[in-house]
Amino acid sequence: MLTIDSIAERFIRYARINSQSDTKSNTCPSTSGQMDLARILLEDLLEIGCTEVSLDRNGYIMASLASNVIHPTPTIGFIAHLDTSPDCSGKDVQPQIIKGYNGRDIALDPAGSIMLKTSDFQELLNYTGQDLLVTNGTTLLGADDKAGITEIMEAVSFLNSHPEIPHGKIRIGFTPDEEIGRGADLFDVKKFGADFAYTVDGGPIGELEYENFNAAAVIINIQGRNVHPGTAKGKMINALQIAIDLHSMLPITDRPENTEGYEGFFHLTRVEGTVEKARMDYIIRDHDFDRFIERKNLLAEITVELNKSYPPGTVKASVRDQYFNMKEKIMPVYHIIDLAAQAITEAGVTPLIIPIRGGTDGSKLSYMGLPTPNIFTGGHNYHGRYEFIPVQSMQKAIEVIINIVRIASIQ
């Protein structure tokens, strides 16, 4: 039986391990904590009956649960990522469990100074009476994606101990550095050997996603000229002022806080510098590929326009594509979406097929030849101290994984 207590216990054990990734690191995995978690998962996979268990030097884990049917069935993969976001501290994570949530505001810290309020997060009220895993107000929770890891582990453990449930060969994959856009970079699709896969890396209960942003990262370097402000007229080039001017030339409507659904954006993630030199970091996102190209072109045009007013090369932009919309690769194999939707429905949940306002390992993997849509974990408010996840939603995600392999084995 998939018990609430066993699910919560496994999640908390994984969540307490600091496995944040680091954008400034050039290693893979980018942090040693991810390897710490990987070694624990390696032992757990063996304990729950997996075979072909491996951990490579880059932090990629693969394992199998053998088929228990004699007729041909597809080999299905389930993938989650080891790392948590660098956006909020992942050190000394101390999850709390709120049993039978009463529908009121939740004090995350003992003093009650950090509150998870229903007025700010009205979706809390959808989970009255359920058991919520929350933070202590000082760190993120790590449900993105330790909930996915937990759900895959619990599903495989349940299947191994219930041989009466038919299933084909199952492949399990845990990847490093998804949060910094590198999760699938060194993933060996051929070794994984699945016909198709699902990342278990979505949000609230019911979500099923096969569309994601086209994504690019942009670094803008601005070279200024510092002169004493008392004698600066006609001489000073203020790199910080140019940064402000550049940002103001982008449409205010196309910022994350002003967009939703299929609407794309320019997101300024970092700005730093002095009069002499400044740097701006952006991410560009759009579901539509043509609009994605237009966004990159607009930033290039702004750079050219600014350089007309200053010495050549004052503003330099470096653009790097990160991933593309997996929809193009999923549509030819849409039956895997139908399969997941049926599995969700049979778990007593209404499928919510929506575009991802972000990306997953599945976007890259789909372009590498492994079609990989995304299913929910049940979490909310990822990457921050107000993150929470209902354990009952995790329970349903586990049921969905079990249903996917069961349905696929009898079709």
**Which tens digits make up the pLDDT trace of 203-228?**
999 999 999 999 999 999 999 999 99
pLDDT at 408: 98
Per-residue pLDDT, averaged over 248-259, amounts to 97
Residue after which a domain boundary falls, among 286, 306, 322: 322
Cβ atoms of 303 and 316 within 8 Å: the answer is yes
Q: Say if residue 34 is in the same domain as residue 112.
A: yes
Do 158 and 228 fall within a single domain? no
* Residue type at 80 in one-letter notation: A
| 353 Cβ contact list (under 8 Å, min separation 6) | 208, 209, 210, 337, 341
Write the CATH number for 10: 3.40.630.10
Total domains in the chain come to 2
Question: 332 near 268, Cβ under 8 Å?
Answer: no
Q: What is the DSSP letter of 237?
A: B
Which pLDDT band holds residue 34 (cuts at 50, 70, 90)? very high
Residues 344 and 281 in one domain: no
- Let me know whether 226 and 339 are in one domain: no
Q: Is 83 a catalytic residue?
A: yes
Distance CA 133, CA 66 (A): 32
Do 205 and 125 lie in a common domain? yes
Residue 25: Cβ-neighbour burial (10 angstroms; 0-12, 13-18, 19+): middle
Q: What pLDDT is attached to residue 359?
A: 82
pLDDT digits (tens, 9 = 90+) for 127-143: 999 999 999 999 999 99
Instruction: Print the domain residue range for 111.
Output: 4-212+325-410
Please indicate, yes or no, whether residues 339 and 237 belong to a single structural domain of this protein.
Answer: no
The yes-or-no verdict on residue 392 having pLDDT over 90 is yes
Same domain, 338 and 292: no
Q: 358: pLDDT confidence band, cut at 50, 70 and 90?
A: confident
| Together in a domain, 306 and 366 | no
d(CA 109, CA 49): 39
Say if pTM beats, i.e. exceeds, 0.85.
yes
User: What does the pLDDT look like over 36-82, one tens digit per residue?
Assistant: 999 999 999 999 999 999 999 999 999 999 999 999 999 999 999 99
Clarify whether residues 95 and 227 are in a common domain: no
Is pLDDT above 80 for 256?
yes
| Same domain, yes or no: 291 and 232 | yes
Q: Which of 144, 177, 178, 211 is catalytic?
A: 178
Confidence class for position 98, pLDDT limits 50, 70, 90? very high
With cut-offs at 50, 70 and 90, classify the pLDDT of residue 411.
confident
Final residue in a domain of this structure, among 291, 322, 353:
322
Residues forming beta bridges with residue 380, ordered by sequence position:
388
Percent of the chain with pLDDT over 90: 96
- Residue 2, pLDDT above cutoff 80: no
**Rounded average pLDDT over 235-257:** 97
Say yes or no to pLDDT of 395 above 80: yes
pLDDT value of residue 1 = 59
With vertex at residue 46, the alpha carbon angle to CA 44 and CA 48, rounded to the nearest 5 degrees, is 70
Check residue 342 and give its pLDDT: 98
Domain of residue 304, CATH code: 3.30.70.360
Between CA 244 and CA 409 the distance in angstroms is 58
Looking at the fold, whether 235 and 247 belong to one and the same domain comes out as yes
Residue 245, classified by CB atoms within 10 Å of its CB into exposed (0-12), middle (13-18) or buried (19+), is middle
Tell me the one-letter amino acid at 41. L
| Average pLDDT, rounded, for the chain | 96
